[in-house]
Every structure is written in structure tokens, then in C-alpha cells.
Copies of this chain bind each other. A is one copy, B any other.
Amino acid sequence: MTFSSKLIEKAVEAFASLPGIGRKTALRLVLHLLKQENSVTTRFAEALVAMREGIRECSICHNLSDEEKCQICADARRDHSLICVVENVRDLMAIEDTGQYRGLYHVLGGVISPIEGVGPADLNIDSLLARMPSGEVKEVIMAISPTIEGETTVYYLSKKLHAEGVQVSAIARGVAFGGDLEYADELTLGRSIVARVPYTSK
């Protein structure tokens, strides 16, 4: 792509440096901004800079936060006896979006993976254990990917957490609601039979 304007070229390159945005899409976005008032671009840029400079990690759960303590940890109406452990902020948001969970979270920042050189010390594990001694937490729910690394992490954490005398559970896995059995993968379907639950008609 050849540009007769350095300013446009730089703006296109800026957009194209983002994941999943090619140069054609980047050009479309730049031309879109050019059709709008200057203030649209200024506000767009300001929102990004304010976000990047203002955002912090919650000092308790490592969620992204505007304050020292995130809105979830600071919310007295939530159930402070429950902590859901997630790999990253995206998973936290996915669970929040369900509207089904009213406890707290703990963002690990990944899973234990010897191949990628990620050990327990690289994750937010000490800070999770540090939340136990107060006695407020009754149950820790593992919402970790069912990969080998994820299972290893869950095993490691459960040992540490049981030593703290806290109950550990894991999110239910099985065939998705609305999912046809024939399209479920073998592992999921097989495990969902082994881990069958009593049927209640209510």
C-alpha cells in the first residue's frame, strides 16, 4: 500500500500494529476517523491513554482496576466467603457476564507450565494463599482450563489450599446446554457420563 501522506501512513501503521487488524482494515478505520470531527479522534486517543496510564492491578485479586482495590473486592454486597480462581481477566469478565456468580475472584495470571518456563512463583499464588488466614474464605472455586497445565495448576493449588483448611471445588464440565450430543467431543461426552449427576425433576 502506498500513501501520499506520511501522517496517514503512520496512523495506518498504528492501527495495523494491533492484533487481528491488517493494513486494509487499518486504512478503513483511518478514513472513518477522517470523516468524523477532529474531536472524535481526540476523545478516542484520550480514552486509550487515560486507560493505559490509569489502570492498575487490584491489590487483592489482581483484577484490572481503576483504584487500589477493584470494584468487585470493594463491593460489600458480594459474598466474601467465595473466591473463584481464574487464569486471566478475560475469563473473569466471562464469568461476570453470566450474572450467576456473586463471590470474589483471584486472577492467577496464567497456569503452571514447565515447558514455557512458568512456575508457581511466576503466578499470583502467594497472594491467593495470603487471603486464607483471615478465616473469611470458606470455598475456593477453580475455573481453570482443563488442559494438562491447567490440571497441574489446580492440583498444586488444591494441595496448598487444603493445607489452609479451605474447601476447594471446580466448575462443572459436560455437554453444553443446547448442544447436540453428536457434536460434543469424545472427551467431554465420556467424562459427562462418568461424572453424571442425580436427576431432580423440580
- Listed in ascending order, the chain A residues whose CB lies under 8 Å from chain B are 1-8, 10-11, 13-14, 17-21, 25, 27-34, 38, 41-55, 63-66, 70-72, 89-90, 93, 96-97
Contact = CB atoms under 8 A, between A and B. Distances in A.
Contacts of A55: 5, 7-8, 34
A54 to B, nearest CB: 5
A134 B15 CA distance: 41
A10 B64 contact: no
Given A2-B96, A7-B54, 8 more contacts: A5-B71, A10-B47, A13-B47, A18-B29, A18-B32, A33-B48, A41-B53, A45-B45
A72 B2 CA distance: 11
A5 B41 contact: no
A4 B48 contact: no
B52 A41 contact: yes
A116 B107 CA distance: 53
